[in-house]
Chains A and B, each alone.
Chain A
Amino acid sequence: MCGIAGLIHKGKSSAVGSEMTAMLQALKHRGPDSTGYAVYGTPTEGDFIMRLKVAEAEDRAKGRGVHQLIRDRIAVVEEILKEHGAQVKSKDAATEYALRYVLSMTGDVAAMAEHIEENEGVEILSFGNGLELIKDLGDATVVSEQYGLTGFQGTHAIGHTRMATESDVDIKSAHPYWAFPYNDVSVVHNGQITNYWIMRREMERKGHRFMSNCDSELLAVYTAHNLANGVSLEDSLRNSIQEIDGVFTYLVATKDQLGLAKDTMAAKPLVLYESDDLIAMASEEVAIRAILPEEIDTTDPYDEEVRVWQA
């Protein structure tokens, strides 16, 4: 079933971390397996934020050896950073296996990301100037507190509460997906993609990598492929409705944009609220009401609807 939510403030920063937490907590009943956030802060040119995980939460059940394994993997990652000329400005760890680096670099980001991910169990969750992508098992409040998201200020955010139907309950199958290796692009999706394997093979032939067997990852790869080839976000969303089969409503966020696309059957829900300075959308109205308790006007986007908003 899954729940998705998105919000974008026009021309101002707000506490999008706690706003998105409230929205996703209201959608917990749509998916209790994992929760994910992609929040966008003020971008600093030249500074990149990299979030990565070096183990799955379930790996900790393997025993004491995993701590050493995690330390070894982190050491390898830092070696690679050095090799690619990335200077670590700060390093935080919300959990033992989830790290956040602020890097200063000018080199080829994609080459470095590929190099890092060559290592078993290591996956970059996000990379960009403004994007912070957080996902873990548990409900919205648990994940938000674990990763200290409450005080986060930014312009826009998307989020996801997952009910695993097509693949495992783990971090690599949780949303949002970063559109590897495209800076600052993230995707959340509610639905099932029925031509997943055909499209995945096509994308793999074009040289893209898949980290999970989750069908939603395809949307992130597909979007990255289009953006890399100079297609605008709006056109990418519009083309996806014809090229991707199945039922879906998905949201894509970039450094300064938020877009939505609905499949040709309008089979997956979305409620949309638009005002002059705030646009909020979610699978159910309760999520929007979690941040806007007063009386508001909301609508349901129709089939094949594509919208893009600028921050």
Chain B
Amino acid sequence: MTIRLNQNQELSLKERFLNLNFLFIAIIIILAYIGCLTLYSVAGAQLFPWAANQAARFGIGLIIMFSAALIQPEIYYKIATPFYIFTLILLVIVDAVGHIGMGAQRWINLGFFNLQPSELMKIAVVLQLSKYFSTVPLESIKSIKGIIIPIILVAVPVVFIMIQPDLGTSLMILFCAVAMFYLAGVQWWKFALAIGSAIASAPLLWHFLHDYQKNRILTFLDPEKDPLNTGYNIIQAKIALGSGGLWCKGFLSGTQSHLRFLPESHTDFIFATFSEEFGMIGGSLVLFLNLILITYGYWFAFRIHHNNYFGKMVILGLNTNYFLYIFINIAMVTGLLPVVGIPLPLISYGGTVILSVMTSFGIMLSFYANRDRELKQ
């Protein structure tokens, strides 16, 4: 840690690098390593088709993270609005293409990654909301009039993602936005009112859900009702998890995934695969490592310069986003939440999530590296 006399002086590249939190980065690498190990096991002790690919993607993810971390934080403030608008346009394009006739395609192929605009939107909404809340006074945030603009900022992308249809991602953005509204100082009663009216309009909303979405929710409520179709995932995931016991069946010996009883064993349900082989000890370890990451997130937000409200808001927003990934995925796999198609970041196979969470970590680290100075506006 470098001690500087003039706290507002910009740091050199080397200083910024040395200012990064390497324990935080180490935990990210450990989690990615656990992911690769599990993918190696699922493939029947083979690097291909998943583990090697995933490792390569994670390598690229690391590069992206370091790049994002070494950028001056002012850049994020500046690009927040253009980035938000750009992502919104991508989202509209993907939606339009999907509707015109290529099926429900949600991504743009970038070679190594499939870029999902909805994934980028998670970051864009956080940046844009943070920018908005950092520029308006508390009184405005507490007034009804003052939250109309941020509500629109959130509602537009959420609606576009929901019609893709991608219920999971749109809900994640919604929850993340709610958390940020709360952090910014919106009063409790407004949330209570919103939740109350949401519950009141739930039957109406139910009407607009797709059949498969209705099915997922019904199946969640009673998986045994339909054991061969939608309920199968949940039942098999529970069997995989439950049979793991305290210690484990041992690496490479999970029968549920190896014998392919567990569908999506390398993507959304990878936590069940992992916990079958490594037991409750392993599962708890993954949860614990993630808890450390999230705690670091809060620590970063607390630690950076007290005048950097934008930075604090961005860190907390991205951190909440990461938390939601972890919580929703594991709650879904363990049968506490309906199956919504949220992967377990750093561990599930797939490039999109790596791109999005590694960028997020990079942005968080960028603010942290410049923690002792104000944001130049």
Decide if A and B are genuine partners. no
Binding site for B on A (CB under 8 A): none
